[in-house]
Structure formats: C-alpha cells, structure tokens
Amino acid sequence: SKTNATEELFGTLDATGAVAKSMEYGTYTYKVVANNYHISEGRIVLKDKTKNHIEEITLRPNFSEITFNAHSDADIYINNERKGTRTWTGILRSGNYQVECRQANHRNSSQYITITENENRTIDLIPPTPITGTLALTSKPLGANISIDGKSYGVTPQNINDLIIGNHTITLSKANYKSEIQTFEVRENRTTNVNITLNDVAKMTIKSYQSKI
C-alpha cells in the first residue's frame, strides 16, 4: 500500500513464489504474511519508468520439525488433540505445548514443552504409569507351573505383584494333570485371590495277547 494509505491485498504468490502487479509510481510499504513464518515488512520506491522493480524477500521460519517418542503403546496428544501412537513427527510453530501420553489401564503422563523456531529435534516423552494390583494364586496340588497372558511366573503358590489392572488369563500346568485355564480380573491396589484345582489325567494301559492256534 502507498505510504499513509489504507492497506490492501496485493496478491498471493504463485508456484514460483512470485506475484506481479502494475502500480503507480510512488512509495509503498509492504507486508508479507505466510503460515508458520515471521511477517516480513518493508518499503519500496517506484520511480524509474524504464525498469521493472523486483523486490526479493526471504521469510524467516517460525516453526520446527519435532518428533515425539512415547516408547510404549500410548497415544500422543498435543494440546488435547490426538496425533499418533508410540511416535509422531510433524511441524509445530514456536510456542508452548501440553503433550500427553494416554494408555488404557495407565495413568496419563503430561508435560509442557517449549518449541523454538528452526530447532528440529526428537523429544522422548514421559511414559504413562501402569495402574496395578496383586494376584494371590494357589492350586491343588501345589507346584503347578504358572503362565499369565503367555508369560511364565514360576510355580504355585505365589503372590504376583504389579499386574496391570483388567482381565488376564491364567494357565496352570503340571505333569500328570490336566492343564487348567481361567480368567481373572486385577483391580487397583487390591489383591485378587484365585485357587485352581487341577484334575488327574486318566491313565490307560492296553495289553494285547497273541492267540495260540
């Protein structure tokens, strides 16, 4: 716009990053605005009738490319908007952001992160904290092998601490006994008592005799 005149839209840059327009001679102030870049302002003087005036402008970025790593199956939220699971990479403008990791049966983690311009980096996030309880497991007979959700936990009897809350599957096995599978629920800061009886495996002996003629 001309000095002391009302500001008006000059145009939008094309694919080459340029915009052209015929203007009256005189002095103009300009302002270039682009998402994620600092505003650029300046002044140009048009007075030479024999030349086309070219004003080259370099915009300074106001963003960074950031990678967030949760290092778990947590969902990543930025300012309460879900961005991805386990990891996310994207463009963030300079400023302060609340970043959360959310995961079922875990306490969410939350932290405030300051992003500065033109500082591409990777940030390891605070993982969510598991919410746990205890399983007190015994069996008849004792000494049965314990598998919970496919992971071995020794033999019965046993108190198993720090199991994540929710439903789990126990498999008990012992030589000469039929394996037993049972589902149980772990609750926060509580002890779940489970007692499982294993049944004997029936033994069968087959004998054959050759008849005499």
Predicted confidence at residue 60, as pLDDT, reads 76
Q: What is the C-alpha radius of gyration for the chain, rounded to an integer number of angstroms?
A: 35
Evaluate whether 148 touches 180 at the Cβ level (below 8 Å): no
pTM comes to 0.68
Predicted confidence at residue 31, as pLDDT, reads 83
CB atoms within 10 A of CB 168: 18
Determine the Cα–Cα distance for residues 194 and 66; give it in Å rounded to an integer.
Answer: 47
Predicted confidence at residue 97, as pLDDT, reads 97
* 185 three-class SS: strand
From residue 177, alpha-carbon distances to 45, 140, 187, 193 in Å are 96, 10, 30, 22
From residue 19, alpha-carbon distances to 16, 120, 146, 195 in Å are 9, 30, 73, 79
Evaluate whether 67 touches 122 at the Cβ level (below 8 Å): yes
List, run by run, the mean pLDDT of 10-residue segments along the chain (213 residues).
65 74 78 79 77 77 91 95 96 94 96 92 95 96 96 96 95 94 94 94 60 58
Predicted confidence at residue 3, as pLDDT, reads 58
Residue length of the chain: 213
For 157, what's the count of Cα atoms within 13 Å in the CB-facing half-sphere? 9
Using alpha carbons, select from 80, 114, 84, 86 the residue that is nearest to residue 100. Answer: 80
Q: Which amino acid is at 137?
A: L
Q: Which amino acid is at 10?
A: F
CB atoms within 10 A of CB 149: 12
DSSP E strands, 116-179: 121-124, 129-130, 132-140, 145-148, 151-155, 158-164, 166-173
Predicted confidence at residue 92, as pLDDT, reads 94
Predicted confidence at residue 177, as pLDDT, reads 94
